[in-house]
């Protein structure tokens, strides 16, 4: 593999070394080695890879540059390597390669451009460093190889702009590198002059002065402008108030380099140093201030050492004095003034205005700038606004003025001495001397210019305009001077008033106004104290924290409340603009983040028009919930709960909220808290809203399965509510829900639990509602018993099996409860119907103690309809096998066989008269409306006969007589015909029933028209020797007596002895009756 590649490489290289066999062999080995190394590099770890790649670099750049071209692509391929270090290596390689062979840049610039956009700042920084070197190379290449390289140069120009833009990068290190790039750029894009202090290694570097004026696409003017704009950018960057200490240090160093290498910029540099010294960025910490000052000193010294600094020696040494350097040291660093050199400075100063002549003969460097002679006006050009303002200020700084300035400034002094001031303060060595006053004027001028004040600035502006106007017109310098003077005087007056104050006229007003001034916000005040350069502020370093007081809690609260109110009240306006959703979101977001008052305000606002503001309500609710979620797991639901609760109860309090807003709110709320559930419960308990409340509750139960049992419980509790409407609605909802299989158990369990309460000796406190303080010993009442049974009883018709539970409870309950139970079960039992297998089973089993219950059930069942055979069967079984209580039979009596009834009669008629009456009613069919007497096993006649036939040993005669009387009471049933049949049949019996004649007489009394029939009976009785039955005989005589004279015929048929006895008997009877009458 390796050899294969090697041959390939060899093939392409071979042509170059075709002639020399030995060299080819030598080349083979190097080339092979490179191939092998590259192959290795692809597979090994980053650290080893770097070592290998460096070897490759050494081989193809230094040892055998002819190979460079061949392996360029292989190396460049590593630019996408994962490792930052490898990518940085590639950048370094590009730099080395391009330095070795400048033309390679044409191929590699695009790669560099790409790497400069790398995601790693370290790669970007490395790329900037390399670009710093390669920019010069690019310029060189573009000059020497003039065709088809324009695109490359364009790209380089673009990259240059990109790097300059990185002065605003977020990364400190990137900015630092960008500054260094800018420095190098400015040096390249400005002409080197004889007094340039150029490092030896950069002697050969290209600079503006080597650019020909006639190049096809590289324009001298453009480059010159670019250089100047880069310098402007750098200077602007340096006065940024928030510059970091490292950036500032870097920039200071760069300026020093610029000043030394391009003395033409000396003025700008010194001025920048001055400005900085007077206005150290307020963001610097104390130690950073010391570091920066140390640097400033260092760089000032290095600038001072440059011969071109002569014109600025005064300013520089003042600065150095301020920085704590002794005069003797300064003198030591000051170069001995070289007279001819001084001239050169002007040449540099003129560069800005007059670059054309300079470029004309770039060979003439040895000649000290003979082209343009320095003009006074040009020194005004570079003598900046600061210089002018300083000149203007100088005469104004009289001791009086200065004293006033100090007094005024006093009130603006900060409470605490700023760190920068503390660090930089040096005692004023030579107060009151001319030099010091000059320095002071200059300091003030720096401040004023920074703040955009002062005659100098005005003048500069005017001058700039003029330069623009007269551009190319070669304006006469003499015409400028009067203008300048005029402006100066005009401006100076105004400025003097506002800034310094004229000595005499304004003295007193100022001192008087001083206390008032204190209150006025006037952050931009030129410093009047030379000692406090760092403490004062120019416009750019205006520090908000110095002039504003933090608000008190209450103020903050008030302001934020007001702000939110304004958003609240802007409802209509915003709605019109169609941005309501933004407002809603904003409000919800804002309010969620605050506690207390604002929330309530918003909630109240929503409740004022719930329907119209429901969107806001929901948004708020969701935000609250979101807030809660975001604080998981420690978050509390309180705030959300409060919100939901307020909304729901607010809705409840509003009259007539007919639409389903409540339901919607409940159903769309992410979580129903306990308090919200309480509100829902309140809804349910409110008679006017019970239906809304419960249907909402029902929806909750069905649609929120996770907590459905909790919701169901609420509904279940309502099923025993004291208000009838609430209760019945709840019951009907529960009944519907009972059909759902998964809820069934729960409902049933609840119902049974409640019913189980009946077993307790006293009703549990649960029944009296939560708050109520219950006496332990309060007795069961009808009401409380019912409460326990409502739900159960409404479920009973739906699930008959439950009836057994009732029986179980019933047996254990006390008598009072039993009675109540018996009263309330009618409806449900009837609903079940007698065909219910469970009910039949209950009858069949009839738990001990539940007899009355079963009886009651039987009664209820058979009250209106005749008993079914199954029921009769069960009862009969029960009666015969287990509980021989004849009362069981009563409800089903009509279902029994005739003989069974007859058998039971003796027992039946011995019961309570009322019960007996009922029995007879049933038997006689008088009770059923439809008169289904035909269903009765006994006809009325048969019944009466059966009564007569009851064995007197089984039943006392008195009960039988009462029973027969009951029969006679039913005139509708016992008509004369029926009675006639009865009498007929009784009479035919042998022996005659004891009560026969009683019945005859009774019938006769009821129906006198039966007299004839009775005579017939009597006659027949004679045939049956009636006298042998004493009781009947007695009745016979009585009857005869009553029916005389018709009975005489009968009597005459009596055999004589019996007739005689009948007389005796009759007399006795008569006498008795007479007595009675």
Partner 1 sequence: MIINSDARACSWTDARSRSAAAARGCSRSLGKRGFDVRSFGTGTHVKLPGPAPDKPNIYDFKTTYEQMYNDLVRKDKELYTQNGILHMLDRNKRIKTRPERFQSCKEQFDLVITCEERVYDQVLEDLNSREQESLQPVHVINVDIQDNHEEATLGAFLICELCQCIQHTDDMENEMDELLQEFEEKSQRPFLHTVCFY
Crossing angle of the two packed helices 837-845 and 851-862, in degrees rounded to 10: 140
Crossing angle of the two packed helices 455-469 and 385-393, in degrees rounded to 10: 140
Question: Closest CB to partner 1 among 117 and 461?
Answer: 117
Smallest distance, partner 1 to C-beta of residue 144, A: 23
Question: Closest CB to partner 1 among 302 and 845?
Answer: 302
Question: Closest CB to partner 1 among 182 and 794?
Answer: 182
Question: Closest CB to partner 1 among 248 and 397?
Answer: 248
Tokens of 502: 């004229």
Between CA 395 and CA 863 the distance in angstroms is 129
Question: Closest CB to partner 1 among 93 and 618?
Answer: 93
Question: Closest CB to partner 1 among 95 and 347?
Answer: 95
Smallest distance, partner 1 to C-beta of residue 627, A: 32
Smallest distance, partner 1 to C-beta of residue 253, A: 7
3-class DSSP state of 487: helix
Smallest distance, partner 1 to C-beta of residue 261, A: 10
Question: Closest CB to partner 1 among 244 and 710?
Answer: 244
Question: Closest CB to partner 1 among 249 and 592?
Answer: 249
91 contacts 130 by C-beta, under 8 angstroms: yes
Question: Closest CB to partner 1 among 24 and 302?
Answer: 302
In the block, which residue shows the tokens 């009975």? 1047
390 contacts 441 by C-beta, under 8 angstroms: yes
Smallest distance, partner 1 to C-beta of residue 289, A: 10
Instruction: List Cα–Cα distances, 83 to 42, 80, 88, 243, 926, in angstroms.
Output: 12, 9, 9, 32, 110
Question: Closest CB to partner 1 among 96 and 458?
Answer: 96
Question: Closest CB to partner 1 among 165 and 411?
Answer: 165
Chain centroid to Cα 401, Å, comes to 63
Find the Cα–Cα–Cα–Cα dihedral 721, 725, 731, 732, rounded to 10°: -170
Smallest distance, partner 1 to C-beta of residue 128, A: 9
Smallest distance, partner 1 to C-beta of residue 247, A: 9
> Which residues here bind partner 1, judged by CB under 8 A?
47, 50, 54, 85, 88-89, 92, 121-122, 125-126, 129, 132, 171-174, 176-177, 180, 184, 199-202, 244-246, 249-250, 253, 257, 285-288, 290-291, 294-295, 298-299, 302
231 contacts 271 by C-beta, under 8 angstroms: no
Smallest distance, partner 1 to C-beta of residue 103, A: 23
Smallest distance, partner 1 to C-beta of residue 96, A: 11
Between CA 1021 and CA 1001 the distance in angstroms is 14
Smallest distance, partner 1 to C-beta of residue 290, A: 6
Question: Closest CB to partner 1 among 47 and 161?
Answer: 47
Instruction: Measure CA of the first residue to CA of the last residue in the chain; give whole Å.
Output: 155
719 contacts 727 by C-beta, under 8 angstroms: yes
Residues making up the chain, counted from first to last: 1077
Assign 3-class secondary structure to 946-984: HHHCCCCCCCCHHHHHHHHHHHHHCCCCCCHHHHHHHHH
Smallest distance, partner 1 to C-beta of residue 246, A: 5
Smallest distance, partner 1 to C-beta of residue 634, A: 29
Instruction: List Cα–Cα distances, 1048 to 1003, 1033, 1052, 1054, in angstroms.
Output: 20, 16, 6, 10
3-class DSSP state of 84: helix
Q: Which residues contact 270 (CB under 8 A, 6 or more apart)?
A: 259, 303, 309, 312, 315, 316
Tokens of 162: 């990109």
Chain centroid to Cα 527, Å, comes to 52
In the block, which residue shows the tokens 């009362």? 887
Cis status of the peptide bond prior to 531, with omega within 30 of 0: no
524 contacts 537 by C-beta, under 8 angstroms: yes
Smallest distance, partner 1 to C-beta of residue 461, A: 36
Smallest distance, partner 1 to C-beta of residue 376, A: 36
Smallest distance, partner 1 to C-beta of residue 420, A: 14
Question: Closest CB to partner 1 among 233 and 663?
Answer: 233
Between CA 389 and CA 459 the distance in angstroms is 9
Question: Closest CB to partner 1 among 122 and 1041?
Answer: 122
Of residues 39, 350, 419, 40, the one with CA closest to residue 193: 350
Instruction: List Cα–Cα distances, 620 to 308, 526, 624, in angstroms.
Output: 71, 52, 6
Tokens of 868: 């079914």
Hey, CA dihedral for 389, 392, 396, 397, is it positive or negative? Answer: positive
67 contacts 59 by C-beta, under 8 angstroms: yes
Question: Closest CB to partner 1 among 253 and 660?
Answer: 253
């Amino acid at each position: 593999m390796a050899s294969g590649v090697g041959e390939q490489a060899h093939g392409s290289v071979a042509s170059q070394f075709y002639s020399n066999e030995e060299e080819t062999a030598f080349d083979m080995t190097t080339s092979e080695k490179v191939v092998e190394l590259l192959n290795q590099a692809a597979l090994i770890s980053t650290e080893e890879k770097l070592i290998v790649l460096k070897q490759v670099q050494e081989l193809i750049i230094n040892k055998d540059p002819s190979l460079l071209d061949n392996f360029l692509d292989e190396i460049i391929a590593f630019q996408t390597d994962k490792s930052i270090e490898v990518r940085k290596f590639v950048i370094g390689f590009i730099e080395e390669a391009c330095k070795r062979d400048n033309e390679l840049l044409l191929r590699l610039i695009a790669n560099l451009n790409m790497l400069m956009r790398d995601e790693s700042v370290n790669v970007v920084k490395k790329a900037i460093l390399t670009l710093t070197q390669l920019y010069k190379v690019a310029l060189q290449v573009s000059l020497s190889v003039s065709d088809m390289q324009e695109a490359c140069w364009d790209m380089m120009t673009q990259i240059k702009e990109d790097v300059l833009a990185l002065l605003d990068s977020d990364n400190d290190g990137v900015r630092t590198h960008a500054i260094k790039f800018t420095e190098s750029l400015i040096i390249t894009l400005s002409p080197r002059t004889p007094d340039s202090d150029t490092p030896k290694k950069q002697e050969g570097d290209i600079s503006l002065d080597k650019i020909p004026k006639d190049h096809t696409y590289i324009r001298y003017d453009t480059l010159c402008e670019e250089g100047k704009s880069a310098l402007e950018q750098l200077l602007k960057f340096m006065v940024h108030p928030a510059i970091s200490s490292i950036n500032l240090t870097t920039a200071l160093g760069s300026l020093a380099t610029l000043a030394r290498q391009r003395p033409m910029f000396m003025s700008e540099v010194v001025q920048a140093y001055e400005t900085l010294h007077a206005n150290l960025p307020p963001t610097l910490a104390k130690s950073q201030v010391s570091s920066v000052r140390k640097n400033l000193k260092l760089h000032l010294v290095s600038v001072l050492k440059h011969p071109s600094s002569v014109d600025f020696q005064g300013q520089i040494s003042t600065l150095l004095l301020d920085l704590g350097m002794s005069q003797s040291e300064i003198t030591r660093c000051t170069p001995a003034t070289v007279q001819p050199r001084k001239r050169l400075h002007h040449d540099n100063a003129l560069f800005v205005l007059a670059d054309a002549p300079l470029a004309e003969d770039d060979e003439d460097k040895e000649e000290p700038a003979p082209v343009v002679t320095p003009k006074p006006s040009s020194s005004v050009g570079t003598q900046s606004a600061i210089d002018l303002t300083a000149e203007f200020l100088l005469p104004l700084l009289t001791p009086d003025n200065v004293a006033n300035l100090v007094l005024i400034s006093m009130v603006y002094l900060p409470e605490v001495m700023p760190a920068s001031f503390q660090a930089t303060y040096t005692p004023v060595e030579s107060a009151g001397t001319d030099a010091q006053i000059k320095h002071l004027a200059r300091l003030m001028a720096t401040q004023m210019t920074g703040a955009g004040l002062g005659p100098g600035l005005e003048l500069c502006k005017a001058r700039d305009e003029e330069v623009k106007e007269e551009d190319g017109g070669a304006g006469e310098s003499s015409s400028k001077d009067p203008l300048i003077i005029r402006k100066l005087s005009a401006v100076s007056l105004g400025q003097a008033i506002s800034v310094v104050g004229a000595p005499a006229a304004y003295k007193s007003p100022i001192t008087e106004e001083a206390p008032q001034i204190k209150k006025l916000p006037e952050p931009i005040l030129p410093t009047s104290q030379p000692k406090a350069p760092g403490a004062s502020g120019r416009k750019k370093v205006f520090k908000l924290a110095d002039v504003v007081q933090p608000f008190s809690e209450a103020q903050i609260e008030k302001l934020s409340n007001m702000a939110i109110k304004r958003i609240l009240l802007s409802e209509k306006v915003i709605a019109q603009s169609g941005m309501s959703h933004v407002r809603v979101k904003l409000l919800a977001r804002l309010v969620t983040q605050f506690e207390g008052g604002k929330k309530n305000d918003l909630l109240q606002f929503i409740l004022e028009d719930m329907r119209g503001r429901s969107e806001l309500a929901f948004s708020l609710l969701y935000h609250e919930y979101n807030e809660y979620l975001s604080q998981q797991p420690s978050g509390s639901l309180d705030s959300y709960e409060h919100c939901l609760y307020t909304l729901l109860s607010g809705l409840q309090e509003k009259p007539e909220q007919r639409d389903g807003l409540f339901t919607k709110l409940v159903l769309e709320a992410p979580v129903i808290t306990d308090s919200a559930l309480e509100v829902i419960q309140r809804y349910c308990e409110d008679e006017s809203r019970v239906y809304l409340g419960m249907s909402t509750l029902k929806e909750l139960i069905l649609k929120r399965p996770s907590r459905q049992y909790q919701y169901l419980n609420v509904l279940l509790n309502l099923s025993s509510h004291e208000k009838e409407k609430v209760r019945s609605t709840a019951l009907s909802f529960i009944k519907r829900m009972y059909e759902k299989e998964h809820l069934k158990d729960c409902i049933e369990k609840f119902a049974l639990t409640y019913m189980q309460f009946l077993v307790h000796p006293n009703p549990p406190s649960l029944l009296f509602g939560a708050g109520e303080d219950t006496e332990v010993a309060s007795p069961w009442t009808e009401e409380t018993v019912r409460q326990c049974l409502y739900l159960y009883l409404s479920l009973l018709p739906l699930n008959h099996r439950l009836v057994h539970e009732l029986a179980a409870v019933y047996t254990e309950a006390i008598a009072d409860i039993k009675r109540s139970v018996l009263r309330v079960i009618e409806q449900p039992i009837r609903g079940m119907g007698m065909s219910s297998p469970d009910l039949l089973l209950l009858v069949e089993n009839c738990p001990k103690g539940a007899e009355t219950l079963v009886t009651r059930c039987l009664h209820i069942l058979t009250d209106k309809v005749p008993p079914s055979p199954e029921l009769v069967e069960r009862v009969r079984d029960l009666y015969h096998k287990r509980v021989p209580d004849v009362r069981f039979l009563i409800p089903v009596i009509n279902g029994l066989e005739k003989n069974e009834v007859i058998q039971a009669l003796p027992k039946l008629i011995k019961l309570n008269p009322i019960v007996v009456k009922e029995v007879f009613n049933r038997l006689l069919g008088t009770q059923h409306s439809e008169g289904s007497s035909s269903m009765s096993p006994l006809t009325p006649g048969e019944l009466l006969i059966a009564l007569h036939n009851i064995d007197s040993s089984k039943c006392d005669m008195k009960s039988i007589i009462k029973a027969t009387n009951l029969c006679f009471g039913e005139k509708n049933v016992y008509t004369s015909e029926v009675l006639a049949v009865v009498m007929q049949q009784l009479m035919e019996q042998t022996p005659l029933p004891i009560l026969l004649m009683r019945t005859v007489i009774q019938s006769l009394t009821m129906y006198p028209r039966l007299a004839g029939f009775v005579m017939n009976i009597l006659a027949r009785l004679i045939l049956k020797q009636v006298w042998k039955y004493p009781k009947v005989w007695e009745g016979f005589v009585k009857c005869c007596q009553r029916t005389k004279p018709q009975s005489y015929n009968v009597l005459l048929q009596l055999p004589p002895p019996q007739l005689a006895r009948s007389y005796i008997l009759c007399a006795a009877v008569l006498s008795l009756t007479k007595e009675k009458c």
